[in-house]
Amino acid sequence: MSLRGFAASLIEFLAVRLELVSVEARDEALRLGELLLYGAIAIVLLSLGLTFLAVLLTVLLWDTHRLLALAVFSAIFLTLGAVAFVAARARLNQGSRLWGASLAELERDKERLRS
């Protein structure tokens, strides 16, 4: 095998790997964008729904148990917020699978070169 052939193969190899990395980065950016959009929409709509439900039930109980209704809804909202915070923190600590396929391909390439 000539030096030029080896250099051409190496350049082609690197080009394929870089293309794979760029595809993975683009896919991850699109996934994160969708996740943020759907998450924001869900948060806004669920917040509005829960707020109107809390107001409705508080108004219904205004003459008899208004403080109890307000205390219960405050506790529910604070608990749900704490649960969401803990879930978000756990997901953040899990990390990302970004570059996973590229690293796996590089490992396979290393094994092929060794044998």
**Chain segment 11-21, per-residue pLDDT in tens:** 888 888 888 88
Residues 105, 107: Cα–Cα separation, whole Å = 5
* Exposure of 111 in the CB half-sphere (CA atoms within 13 A): 6
26-74 pLDDT, tens digit per residue, is 888 898 899 999 989 998 898 899 889 888 988 998 899 888 888 888 8
Distance of CA 20 to the CA centre of its chain: 21
